[in-house]
């Protein structure tokens, strides 16, 4: 009797568990209003291969085909948190909203590998001004020094979204509404958009944005998350609600399983078109885009090997050989990582207040051994503050620097010891190196650096800290040790501000040169690209020359695509962490090839 | 139902009431521990937020963020607000980073952890009970050594290492890997079971190791009892002796062990969830701790604590079913 | 009365003489071969940990140019991505495991004993309050609580030791407490009270020696758990911070990334961890089988000194009674 009771309880628990697991948040999908080319089944990811997908294809042999589900692992290990564009989000920029919300401007992919190959759309937030084109806007100009006029593209429609809005054309009133919201929300977004003063719409397709002052990086800000254009209906229905999201973009958000994946479906009435060969095609090609959140590299790779992921980004060099061996059919794309490891040395207190000591620390690092051990022999020596992928009117390659700066990047322990002796440290000194333990590779890098410095007599004590504590320490600015952190390239103005503005959160070296800052202020006010870029280039070079940092080499990162993914050129983004245009223009080969996997 | 049964039921009811009453002070202490411990962790959330926002005016932004998150009042006021919210409205507060209600986050992810934990427990029991009993009955024979070695191997091989191996090598050798997005039971029962069974086996094995040994030693003890010797001398078959006489009594401490493992239903699975990309509360907790999302951590810990306390009561009640000698004092 | 006292003291002394270490070891070798293997492994672990400096061919963080070198004469187990010799790092990892494992366990036993002893002995309201606190602590699943504690105290060897000791100590106090309660109910304790033993005397002379068995068992069974938990924490990046080699830490991060280029980086620390946990567990098991009074003799329930005298009589007789000891 008692055993039966126990069994009954057990079975009930089992049933309860399964019921609970299946009652996990119901999918947001609505099927109405979605023009489906053929039958796309409900089952996610893994099960796709076995399905009888009665897709209707235009051309089977040559040319692009419509249909299919693409599973994208972008390599950015974040999950969405906020859906309202003007609310600050810790997720990367437009990584999730960009698929359905659009901006006035975006990056011009035809200037990348897809077209003229002038720019490597690599892993940074920023796109250089000359590679920006209109998205919702067709053209723009300054009608007077502080008024920016945008001419909107006609014929763009908001899709039907039951419970939110019915389809209608996107007009200037929407832009005015979005920007007004942004301007009034200065409080939550801090000082990023403080240069926008007011906005008005002279007619249905024209928007006038009045600036309170000229901000030189306004183009970049126009592509960012805060300036997504949203309809008033969305705000009325609840803009923070993931189930209500709607936009003019190539995809529509249909499902969000927290911690697991996002699902987007094709927007059948998207305005975007592309020309392949001599035919014009409506975008996007794929029917469904799935974006899972997987943090563990082994899991990501397993998904790629077994065909569950169609595109995988952020793959490190260690896995290249093995992938080539097990999956030689994969297409590989190389991209330069966005950022570099930085050892920050405080130049306001000893011992690093003497530039000779900073130079010595730089010369003691055997960069070749570093690259061989950490990056498999392939890296770029200098790619910070400005990225080596940025155009030459901004970025100064190492060989163009004066000899006194170039020697910092060469391995010369004898000279390093000599400089130390000159500076008054004939027997070296002791110092700590603080770093965050959140990334396992950091410990290896710091160990290696410490062993190099030990060779010139500098005894470095490694001080790992938990991430949150690390942030607190860097924020407090009371440390006396060196700090290591992974710097990113962000955008020219942001990164220079981080490196050179006194009091900035990231100014960990206490860089403080009034002349430099005056030039920086001047650059921020420069209206012409040529003048601006010239100043920025100089400012960047000056930061490098102070040797305030030991700038570690920048590695390459690899992306892989399955052989049936066509018209993909390995771009990492087309705007600030925004892959939507890339995905919209990416095409399937026939499902047959994919189904064989 | 005779008078004895009725009295026992009444005793049990009083016992349950008493235990539930005792749960309240325990939960209060637990809530205090949780709330203050989390806030003692160095490096505050505001600094992290400021870092992310590229603020140009740190002081102003800090004040503004603090106010919007309700962190501008002293800690004990925050505590009372939080407890008040729970007791009066059943509201666990809102995530500091996302602004979504904590209860929603937990409700979304708890079923996954629960299912994983349940499968692991069941698989663990299916392995450990038979092997433990066998090992005890055949003590010091080869079979016993093998079984014990297996049990300890289950504990010795780290589950995270095993998880990585299982993720990596099948993908290379057989082109198979577990699904990377959550397969819901309602949509695809078979797929859901397959997705959970692999991590559950890995977890179940390490649970099994502990239970196996406890089962074995308890069976050993029971098999030495006088009444078992009596059964032997009566000439009963081995199976009768073991199953009918020995097992039930040996299982009582095993129930203790199971009771100790029950918390896995609500959160012992952080590493496995990370490796197998399962959106459970283990990962939720890990991320929340790193990001210092105080409300999520506090709310989640409180939910977990309540669950564990209730489990303890349930386990104690089970003793009553198994052992007629147990009195609800 | 005084002669009774002396007699009981004598019996205790006799008991102690009989339970000498050599007796134990002999029984271990004779009756529990697996446990002996485990004992050997534990001993090896201890020796490796203590003499790590002499045994390791290279320094623990000595980088060289031999990145990812495969096993060879120079690097017997290969080298890692910074050119550090894997064998040396595993040996030093043993030292970390030994230090963390044994120190944290010892500390946790002290905590368990203190809490369990006083809580069980004093009883009453004190017991109720303390048990509520222990309950509240045990509400939280182990790893999660450890995560919070580690974030609280930051990475570092001593912090980890204290955290592990605290966590395991509080949960282990339950075992000690129940043992104390069982003993408290025994006749000889009541007799001692009747004689007029002071509380301290009761604790030290009567109760403490009798709970030594469960304490030793707790000690030996805790060590592998603590070693494994430290490995899990290191795997999550929250354990002993690199570059100090810890087997768990060596299995995470770098080993995963270099798994295909240098599989030895992931294999050897895992093997070491498994062998050590296996060995210590087996040894602990054997110790428990030998020491657990409940399993001795064929007498079933625990019955103190009486068991000893029967044991001296004959082992064969026990075997004849059915299931060996």
Predicted local distance difference test score (pLDDT) of residue A168: 92
Contacts of C313 (CB under 8 A, 6+ apart): none
Chain C nearest-CA distance from A436, in A, is 10
Q: Quick one: pLDDT band at residue C10, thresholds 50, 70, 90? A: low
- The minimum CA-CA distance between B292 and chain A, rounded to whole Å, is 7
Residue C108, SS3?
helix
Q: Quick one: pLDDT band at residue C244, thresholds 50, 70, 90?
A: confident
pLDDT at A248 over 70: yes
Q: Minimum mean pLDDT among A26-30, B78-82, C276-280: which range?
A: A26-30
% of chain C exceeding 70 in pLDDT = 82
Residue with tokens 């304490």: C215
CB A301 to CB B290 under 8 A? no
The reported pLDDT for the residue numbered C108 is 93
Percent of chain A with pLDDT strictly greater than 70: 86
pLDDT band at A99 (very low <50, low <70, confident <90, very high): very high
Q: Which chain A residues are closer than 8 Å to B321 by Cβ?
A: 2, 5-6
Task: Write out the residue range of the structural domain in which residue B254 sits.
Answer: 100-322
User: Is A360:A411 a contact under the CB 8 Å cutoff?
Assistant: no
For residues A240-263, give the mean pLDDT: 90
- Asked whether residue B71 carries a pLDDT value surpassing 70, the answer given is yes
pLDDT at A536: 92
Of A481, A470, C108, the C-alpha closest to B41 is A470
Is there a contact between B81 and B298 (Cβ–Cβ < 8 Å)? Answer: no
Q: CA of B175: how far to CAs of A597, B168, B172, in Å?
A: 9, 10, 6
Name chain A contacts of B50, Cβ cutoff 8 Å: 475, 505
This prediction's pTM: 0.80
Helix ranges restricted to H, A38-109: none
DSSP per residue over A492-546, as a string?
Answer: HHHHHHHHHSTT-TT-TT----HHHHHHHHHHHH--SHHHHHHHHHHHHHHHHHT
The yes-or-no verdict on residue A25 having pLDDT over 50 is: no
- Model confidence at B233: pLDDT above 90: no
Q: Do B305 and C136 touch (CB under 8 A)?
A: yes
**C242 touching A, CB under 8 A?**
yes
Q: What integer pLDDT is reported at residue A157 of this predicted model?
A: 92
Residue percentage of chain C with pLDDT more than 90: 4
Question: In sequence order, what are the residues at sequence separation of 6 or more whose Cβ sits closer than 8 angstroms to the Cβ of residue A420?
Answer: A356, A357, A360, A426, A428, A456, A457, A458
Q: Which CATH number fits domain C32-291: 3.20.20.70, 1.10.3720.10, 3.30.1950.10, 1.20.1290.10?
A: 1.10.3720.10
Taking all residues of chain C, what is their mean pLDDT, rounded to a whole number?
A: 76
User: How far B152 CA lies from chain C's nearest CA (Å)?
Assistant: 6
Beta carbons within 10 angstroms of residue B174's beta carbon? 9
CB contact under 8 A, A297 and C257: yes
Mean local confidence (pLDDT), A436-441:
78
pLDDT at res. C294: 53
Looking at every residue in chain B, the average pLDDT score rounds to 80
Q: Is the pLDDT of residue A110 over 90?
A: no
Would you mind telling me the total number of residues written for chain C in this entry? 325
Q: Is the peptide bond prior to A52 cis by the omega test (within 30 degrees of 0)?
A: no
Confidence of residue A188 (pLDDT cuts 50, 70, 90): low
pLDDT bin (cut points 50, 70, 90) of residue A169 is: very high
The whole-number pLDDT of residue B137 equals 80
Mean pLDDT of A337-342: 89
pLDDT tens column, B136-166: 887 778 888 888 788 878 878 888 888 888 8
pLDDT at C74 over 90: no
Q: How far apart are CA B63 and CA B46, in angstroms?
A: 9
Cβ contact B191–A469 (<8 Å): no
Which ipTM score applies to this complex?
A: 0.78
Distance CA A319, CA A560 (A): 11
- DSSP annotation of C60 reads T
Q: Inspect the interface and report whether the beta carbons of C81 and A373 lie closer than 8 Å.
A: yes
Q: Which of A459-473, B154-168, B239-253 has the lowest mean pLDDT?
A: B239-253
Cross-chain residue pair A22–B291, CB shorter than 8 Å: no
Location of structure tokens 């007799």: C191
Q: Which has the minimum average pLDDT: A364-378, A557-571, C49-63?
A: C49-63
Nearest CA in chain A to B247: A3
Residue A23: the pLDDT is: 46
CB B192 within 8 A of CB B111: no
* Cα–Cα distance measured from residue B278 to residue B194, given in angstroms and rounded to the nearest whole number: 13
Alpha-carbon torsion C298, C301, C306, C312, what sign? positive
**Does residue C299 register a pLDDT over 50?**
no
- pLDDT above 80 (res A101): yes
Half-sphere exposure of C222 (CA within 13 A, CB side): 29
Look at residue C323 in the predicted model and tell me its pLDDT: 47
Q: Which residues of C103-123 are buried (b: 16+ CB within 10 A; e: fewer)?
A: bbbebbbebbbebbbbbbbee
Domain boundaries, chain C: 32-291
When pLDDT is cut at 50, 70 and 90, the band that residue A410 belongs to is very high
Nearest CA in chain B to A91: B52
For C:74-103, CB contacts with A below 8 A are: 81-83
When pLDDT is averaged across residues C1-18 and rounded to a whole number, the result is 59
Cβ atoms A90, A110 nearer than 8 A: no
**Residue A177's pLDDT band (cuts 50, 70, 90):** very high
**How many CB atoms sit inside 10 A of residue A344's CB?**
26
Task: Give the angle B261-B265-B267 at the CA atoms, nearest 5°.
Answer: 95
CB within 8 A of B323, min separation 6: which ones?
Answer: B249, B252
Q: How far apart are CA C94 and CA A14, in angstroms?
A: 42
C136:B42 CB<8 A: no
Contacts of A134-137 spanning 24+ positions with Cβ under 8 A: A134/A104, A134/A105, A134/A106, A135/A102, A135/A103, A135/A104, A135/A105, A135/A106, A136/A102, A136/A103, A136/A104, A136/A170, A136/A175, A136/A229, A136/A248, A137/A104, A137/A105, A137/A207
Q: Mark which residues 24-43 of C lie under 8 Å from A by CB.
A: none
Percent of chain B scored above 90 by pLDDT? 1
pLDDT of residue A364: 93
Please, which residues 119-148 of chain B have a Cβ atom closer than 8 Å to chain C?
A: 139-140, 145, 148
Instruction: Give the residue with greater pLDDT, B284 vs C7.
Output: B284
Compare CB distances from B271 to C140, C141, C232 and report the shortest one's residue. Answer: C232
Q: Is residue B248 part of a domain?
A: yes
Higher pLDDT, C163 or C181: C163
Instruction: Using an 8 Å CB-CB cutoff, list chain B residues near A560.
Output: none
- Residue C310 class from Cβ within 10 Å (0-12 exposed, 13-18 middle, 19+ buried)? middle
Task: Determine contact, residues A200/A180, Cβ cutoff 8 Å.
Answer: no
The string of pLDDT tens digits covering residues B273-311 is 888 888 888 888 888 887 788 888 888 888 888 888 888
Q: Confidence class of residue B55 from pLDDT cuts 50, 70 and 90?
A: low
Confidence band, pLDDT 50/70/90 cuts, at residue A586:
confident
CA dist., res. A520 & res. A523, Å (int): 5
pLDDT at position C19 is: 54
Q: How many domains does the structure of chain B reveal?
A: 1
Cα B253 to Cα B319: distance, rounded to the nearest angstrom: 9
Residue B28, in any domain of the structure: no
Domain membership of residue B64 (yes or no) is no
Residue whose structure tokens are 């939507």: A580
Of residues A268 and C262, more confidently modeled = A268
Top-confidence residue, A2 or A375: A375
Give the whole-angstrom CA distance, residue A151 versus residue A168.
Answer: 19
Asked whether residue A59 carries a pLDDT value surpassing 70, the answer given is no
Check CB contact under 8 Å for C136 and B30. yes
- Cis, peptide link before residue A284, omega less than 30° from 0: yes
Q: Helix axis angle, B281-291 relative to B102-137, nearest 10°?
A: 120
Which residues on chain B are in Cβ contact (under 8 Å) with A295? 274, 277
Model pLDDT for residues A197-230, shown as the tens digit of each residue = 899 999 999 999 999 888 888 888 888 888 899 9
Q: Determine the residue of chain C that is closest to B31 in CA distance.
A: C136
Tell me how many degrees the CA angle C269-C275-C281 measures, rounded to the nearest 5: 130
Nearest CA in chain A to C252: A440
Mean pLDDT in residue range B41-47: 74
B105's enclosing H/E stretch is helix B102-137
pLDDT value of residue A57: 36
Interface test with B, best of A8, A11, A21, A306 (most B CBs within 10 A): A21
Chain A residue numbers touching C151 (CB-CB < 8 A): 466, 468-469
How close C138 comes to chain B (CA, Å)?
8
pLDDT value of position A573: 82
Partner-chain residue, chosen from C140, C266, C281, that has the shortest CB–CB distance to B152? C281
Cβ atoms A489, A383 nearer than 8 A: yes
Name the residue with higher pLDDT: C312 or C259.
C259
Instruction: Please give the Cα distance from B223 to B215 (Å, whole number).
Output: 12
Mean pLDDT, rounded, for B224-248? 76
* Whole-number Cα distances in Å, B308 to A79, A97, B107, C34: 29, 39, 17, 37
CATH label of the domain that carries residue B108:
1.10.3720.10
CB atoms C133 and B29 under 8 Å: yes
The larger pLDDT score, comparing residue A250 to residue C241, is at: A250
Task: Give the pLDDT confidence score for residue A32 in this predicted structure.
Answer: 31
Question: Is A54's pLDDT higher than 50?
Answer: no
Distance from CA of B213 to the nearest CA of C (A): 9
Stretch A86-107: mean pLDDT: 82
Q: Do B158 and C273 touch (CB under 8 A)?
A: yes
Least confident range from A522-526, B286-290, C318-322: namely C318-322
Residues of chain B with C-beta less than 8 angstroms from the C-beta of C256? 164
User: Which residues 6+ apart lie within 8 Å of C7 measured at CB?
Assistant: none
Name the residue of chain B whose CA is nearest to A305's CA: B171
CA distance linking residue C82 with residue A450, whole number of Å: 12
Residues of A with a Cβ under 8 Å from any C Cβ are 297-298, 316, 318-319, 321-322, 369, 372-374, 437-438, 440-441, 443-444, 447-448, 451, 462, 464-466, 468-469
């Amino acid at each position: 009797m008692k055993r039966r009771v126990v069994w009954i309880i057990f079975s009930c628990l089992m049933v309860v568990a399964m019921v609970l697991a299946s009652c996990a948040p119901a999918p947001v999908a609505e099927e109405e209003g979605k023009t489906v080319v053929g039958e796309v089944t409900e089952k996610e990811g893994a099960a796709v291969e076995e399905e009888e997908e009665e897709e209707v294809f235009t051309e089977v042999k040559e040319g692009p085909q419509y249909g299919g589900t693409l599973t994208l692992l972008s390599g950015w290990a974040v999950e969405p948190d906020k859906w309202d564009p003007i609310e600050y989000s810790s997720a990367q920029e437009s990584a999730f909203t960009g698929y359905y919300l659009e901006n006035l401007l975006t990056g011009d992919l035809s200037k990348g590998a897809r077209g003229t190959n002038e720019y490597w759309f690599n892993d940074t937030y920023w796109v250089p001004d000359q590679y920006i084109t209109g998205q919702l806007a067709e053209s723009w100009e300054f009608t007077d020094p502080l008024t920016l006029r945008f001419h909107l593209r006609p014929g763009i429609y908001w899709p039907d979204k039951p419970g939110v809005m019915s389809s209608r054309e996107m007009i200037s009133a929407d832009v005015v509404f979005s920007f007004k919201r942004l301007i009034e929300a200065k409080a939550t977004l801090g000082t990023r958009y403080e240069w926008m003063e007011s906005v008005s719409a002279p007619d249905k397709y024209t928007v006038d944005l009045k600036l309170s002052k000229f901000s030189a990086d306004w183009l970049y800000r126009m592509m960012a998350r805060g300036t997504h254009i949203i309809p008033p209906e969305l705000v009325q229905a609840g803009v923070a609600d993931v189930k209500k999201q709607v936009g003019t973009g190539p995809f529509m958000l249909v499902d969000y399983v927290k911690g697991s994946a996002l699902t987007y479906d094709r927007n059948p009435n998207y305005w975007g078109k592309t020309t392949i060969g001599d035919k014009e095609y409506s975008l996007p090609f794929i029917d469904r885009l799935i974006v899972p959140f997987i943090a563990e590299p082994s899991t990501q790779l397993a998904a790629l090997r077994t065909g569950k992921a169609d595109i995988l980004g952020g793959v490190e060099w260690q896995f290249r050989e093995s992938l080539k061996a097990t999956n030689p059919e994969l297409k590989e794309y190389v991209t330069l990582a966005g950022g570099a490891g930085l050892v920050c040395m405080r130049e306001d207190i000893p011992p690093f207040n003497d530039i000779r000591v900073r130079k010595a620390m730089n010369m003691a690092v055997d960069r070749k051994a570093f690259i061989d051990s950490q990056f498999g022999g392939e890296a770029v020596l200098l790619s910070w503050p400005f990225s080596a992928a940025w155009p030459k009117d901004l970025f100064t390659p190492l060989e163009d620097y004066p000899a006194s700066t170039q020697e910092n990047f060469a391995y010369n322990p004898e000279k390093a010891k000599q400089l130390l002796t000159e500076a008054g440290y004939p027997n070296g000194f002791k110092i700590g190196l603080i770093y965050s333990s959140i990334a396992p590779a950091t410990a290896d890098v710091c160990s290696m650096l410490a062993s190099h410095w030990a060779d010139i007599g500098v005894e470095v004590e490694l001080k790992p800290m938990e991430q949150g504590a690390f942030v607190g320490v860097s924020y407090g600015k009371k440390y006396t040790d060196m700090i290591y952190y992974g710097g990113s390239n962000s955008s020219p103005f942001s990164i220079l501000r981080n490196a050179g503005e006194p009091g900035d959160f990231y100014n960990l070296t206490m860089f403080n040169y009034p002349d430099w800052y005056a030039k920086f202020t001047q650059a921020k006010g420069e209206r012409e690209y040529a003048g601006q870029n010239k100043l920025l280039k100089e400012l960047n070079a000056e930061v490098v020359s102070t040797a305030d940092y030991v700038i570690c080499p920048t590695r390459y990162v690899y992306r892989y695509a399955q052989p049936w993914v066509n018209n993909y050129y390995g771009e990492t983004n087309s705007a600030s962490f925004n892959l939507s245009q890339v995905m919209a223009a990416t095409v399937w080969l026939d499902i047959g090839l994919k189904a064989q996997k | 139902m005779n008078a004895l049964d009725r009295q026992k039921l009444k005793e049990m009811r009083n016992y349950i009431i008493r235990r539930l009453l005792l749960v309240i002070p325990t939960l209060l202490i637990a809530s205090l521990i949780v709330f203050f411990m989390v806030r003692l962790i160095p490096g505050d959330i505001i600094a992290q937020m400021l870092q992310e926002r590229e603020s140009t005016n740190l002081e102003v932004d800090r004040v503004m963020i603090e106010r919007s998150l309700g962190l501008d009042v002293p800690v004990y006021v925050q505590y009372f607000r939080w407890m008040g919210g729970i007791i009066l409205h059943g509201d666990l507060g809102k995530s500091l980073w996302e602004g979504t209600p904590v209860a929603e986050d937990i409700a979304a992810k708890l079923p996954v952890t629960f299912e994983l934990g349940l499968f692991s427990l069941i698989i663990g029991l299916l392995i450990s009970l038979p092997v433990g009993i066998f090992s005890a009955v055949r003590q010091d024979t080869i079979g016993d050594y093998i079984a014990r070695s297996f049990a300890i191997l289950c504990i010795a091989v780290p589950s995270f290492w095993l998880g990585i191996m299982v993720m990596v090598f099948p993908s290379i050798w057989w082109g198979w890997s577990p699904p990377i997005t959550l397969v819901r039971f309602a949509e695809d029962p078979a797929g859901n079971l397959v997705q959970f069974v692999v991590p559950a086996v890995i977890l179940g094995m390490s649970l099994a190791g502990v239970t196996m040994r406890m089962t074995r030693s308890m069976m050993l003890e029971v098999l030495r009892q006088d009444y078992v010797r009596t059964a032997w001398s009566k000439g009963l078959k081995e199976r009768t002796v073991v199953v009918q006489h020995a097992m039930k009594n040996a299982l009582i401490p095993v129930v203790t062990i199971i009771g100790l493992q029950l918390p896995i239903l609500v959160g012992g699975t952080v590493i496995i969830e990370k490796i197998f990309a399962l959106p459970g509360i283990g990962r939720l907790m890990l991320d929340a701790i790193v990001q210092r999302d105080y409300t999520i951590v506090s709310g989640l810990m409180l939910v977990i604590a309540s669950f564990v306390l209730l489990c303890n009561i349930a386990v104690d009640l089970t003793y009553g079913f198994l052992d007629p000698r147990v009195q609800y004092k | 009365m005084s002669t009774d006292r002396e007699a009981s003291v004598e019996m205790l002394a006799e008991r102690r003489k009989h339970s000498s270490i050599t007796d134990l070891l002999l029984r271990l070798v004779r009756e529990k071969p697996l446990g002996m293997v485990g004992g050997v492994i534990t001993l090896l672990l201890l020796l490796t940990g203590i003499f790590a400096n002499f045994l390791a061919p290279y320094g623990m963080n000595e980088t060289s140019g031999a990145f990812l070198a495969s096993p060879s004469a120079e690097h017997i187990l290969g080298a890692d991505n910074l050119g550090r010799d894997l064998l040396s790092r595993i040996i030093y990892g043993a030292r970390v495991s030994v230090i963390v494992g044994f120190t944290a366990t010892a500390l946790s036993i002290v905590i368990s004993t203190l809490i369990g002893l006083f809580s069980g002995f004093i009883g009453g309201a004190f017991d109720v309050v303390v048990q509520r606190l222990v309950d509240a602590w045990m509400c939280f699943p182990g790893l999660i609580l450890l995560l919070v504690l580690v974030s609280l105290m930051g990475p570092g060897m001593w912090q980890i030791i204290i955290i592990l000791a605290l966590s395991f100590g509080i949960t282990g106090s339950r075992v000690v407490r129940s043992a104390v309660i069982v003993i408290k109910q025994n006749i000889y304790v009541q007799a001692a009270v009747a004689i007029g033993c002071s509380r301290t005397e009761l604790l030290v002379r009567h109760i403490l020696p009798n709970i030594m068995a469960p304490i030793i068992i707790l000690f030996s069974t805790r060590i592998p758990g603590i070693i494994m938990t430290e490995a899990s924490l290191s795997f999550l990046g929250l354990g002993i911070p690199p570059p100090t080699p810890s087997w768990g830490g060596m299995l995470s991060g770098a080993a995963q990334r270099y798994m295909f280029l240098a599989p030895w980086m992931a294999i050897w620390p895992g093997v070491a961890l498994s062998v050590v946990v296996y060995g210590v567990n087996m040894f602990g098991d054997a110790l428990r089988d030998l020491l657990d009074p409940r399993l001795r003799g064929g007498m079933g329930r625990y019955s103190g000194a009486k068991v000893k005298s029967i044991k001296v009589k004959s082992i064969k007789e026990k075997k004849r009674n059915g299931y060996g000891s």
